[in-house]
Amino acid sequence: MAQRLRRQLNARLAKPRRVFVTPGGDEFTAWCRDMPGTAVEVIVSARALHELVAEPGLPLADLDAVQAYAQQQFAHYFGASAQRFAIAPWQQGEACGASALHGLDLAALRAQADAAQVRIAAVRPAWAAWLASLPAAARAGSGRAVWHEGDVAVIVTLDHGRVTGLQSRRINTLAELGGDAPLAVGTPDSDFLPQPGPVTPQPDFLPRSARSPIAWPLAATGALVLATAAWSAVESHRALDVAQAARDRVAALRPAAAPKPAAARRAEPAENRAAFEARALLAMPWEPLLTRVETAGADAKSIAWLGLDASAGRGELRLEGLTPDKLLALQLAEQLGTTPGWRQVVLSRFSAAETGLVGQRFEINARVPTGGGS
């Protein structure tokens, strides 16, 4: 049990590594067997995909609309078998399309990952992951970029960096494509590390979720706070036992003066302060508290959370994050201040972010309900 929890925590904190997977998923099976407790971004071979680019001018307002349209089109071309395809829609300005996963069972992939405590960060078509790794000049150009796997090629047509066409073809050599030389050619041996530059389509076969990206960081922070407090309480009790044993040994050798009751009562809270804090932390309503912070951060899409600190004994909560401007931080504090039971919600600090971070760093302090209702 302890090993499983350790692997799950490692997977949550690990930086995803990229695994190229062909139809059948043998590469992913080997990864889960050899590398449990890690995080991966699955790069899917073109052999396992069907591609679609929507006609210009269709009323497809968002990814949900694109996905619904793509499911209809794939069902039209591939019949009943299309019902089991996982769909990864994408939008890039007015252009949009979708990839259909036919050569891998996404549910089986996720079950394998869960069994090995491997976190799947994304499941992306190889052409999309490769396109994002190209230099900015190539991505911003006009022409053809070609993803090539053996006898399969995916021809990505670019118009000043915007994807206007995707075509899968069977070829023996690149010369069969004819026309002008490609802007770039990618293979499974390419480096998939994303590069700065123009935005490219990023289809992902994982289900889109309404949960905020800070959910796991906040949950992990809360768990660490609880674990630290509990450990401190255990150590406090051990130290108290050792001190009492030493006092008893001294008392057996030399009579001690009668303790003053008032002094004993004053010392008792200090001895049990860590235990009290641990009990208060365990009793705090963490689920509604984290959900509220999560929801407020999701509403302010440009907010990036950095940390959470709680003092259950005093009913105090401190939140740290990054924002592009002070007004958003003030609005966030005002929004949190409307939460029932939250009091004295203030923006207590606002300063330039440290080197390596983008935006302004802010800190919000608040008094929140505890397990005792304070």
> Cα 59 to chain center, whole Å?
31
What is the span of the domain harbouring residue 133?
Answer: 2-186
Whether residues 55 and 112 share a domain: the answer is yes
Number of C-beta neighbours around residue 170 at 10 A: 9
Contact 352, 322 (CB under 8 A): no
Q: Is residue 219 part of a domain?
A: yes
Domain count, the chain: 2
Are residues 142 and 274 located together in one domain of the fold? Answer: no
Cα gap 294→139, rounded to integer Å: 35
Residue pointed to by tokens 């210009």: 56
Q: Identify whether residues 330 and 220 lie together within a single domain.
A: yes
Cα 282 to Cα 5, 40, 164, 229: the distances in Å are: 19, 33, 54, 9
Asked whether residue 58 is domain-assigned, the answer is yes
In a domain, 251, yes or no: no
Has residue 348 been placed in a domain?
Answer: yes
CA distance 322 to 265: 45
Q: What confidence score (pLDDT) does residue 243 get? A: 62
Question: Tokens at residue 230, please?
Answer: 């509990």
Query: Does 119 lie in the same domain as 55?
Result: yes
> With contact defined as beta carbons under 8 Å apart, do 168 and 103 qualify?
no
The DSSP annotation for 116-154 comes to TT-EEEEEEEHHHHHHHTS-HHHHTSSEEEEEEETTEEE
Do 78 and 219 have their domain in common?
no
Nearest Cα residue to 192 out of 131, 145, 137, 121: 131
User: Is 200 part of any domain?
Assistant: no
pTM of the model: 0.56
Domain endpoint, select from 168, 186, 204: 186
Picking from 300, 307, 301, the residue whose alpha carbon sits closest to that of residue 321 is 307
Residue 45 contacts by C-beta under 8 Å, 6 or more apart in sequence? 20, 21, 22, 23, 103, 126, 149, 188
The answer to whether residue 74 sits within a structural domain is yes
**Is there a single domain that holds both residue 171 and residue 223?**
no
Question: For tokens 């960060």, what's the residue?
Answer: 121
86-92/95-101 β-pairing: antiparallel
Residue for token digits 């869960």?
Answer: 114
Cα separation, 82 vs 159, in Å, equals: 30
Q: Which residues on adjacent β-strands are paired with residue 318?
A: 309, 365
Q: What is the pLDDT of residue 217?
A: 56
Pair 29, 151 in one domain:
yes
> Do residues 168 and 282 share a domain?
no
- Three-state SS at 214: coil
Q: Which CATH number fits the domain that encloses residue 98?
A: 3.30.420
DSSP assignment string, 264-319: HHHHHHHHTHHHHHHHHHHHS-HHHHHHHHHHHHHHSTT-EEEEEEEETTTTEEEE
Q: Let me know whether 277 and 357 are in one domain.
A: yes
> Helix or strand or coil: residue 340?
coil
Q: Are residues 298 and 172 in the same domain?
A: no
Tens of pLDDT along the chain (374 residues)?
567 777 777 778 788 999 999 998 899 999 999 999 999 999 999 999 999 999 888 889 899 999 999 999 999 989 888 889 999 999 988 889 999 999 899 999 999 999 999 999 999 999 999 999 999 988 888 999 999 998 899 999 998 888 988 888 898 888 888 888 888 999 999 888 888 888 899 999 998 763 444 545 555 555 565 556 556 656 666 766 766 776 675 566 555 555 555 544 554 555 567 677 677 777 777 778 788 887 777 766 677 777 888 877 778 888 888 888 888 888 888 888 888 888 888 888 888 877 767 778 889 898 888 765 44
Lookup: tokens for 256: 């001690």
Please check whether residues 133 and 28 belong to one and the same domain.
Answer: yes
179 and 300 in a single domain? The answer is: no
Task: Report yes or no on 49 lying in a domain.
Answer: yes
Within a domain: residue 238? no
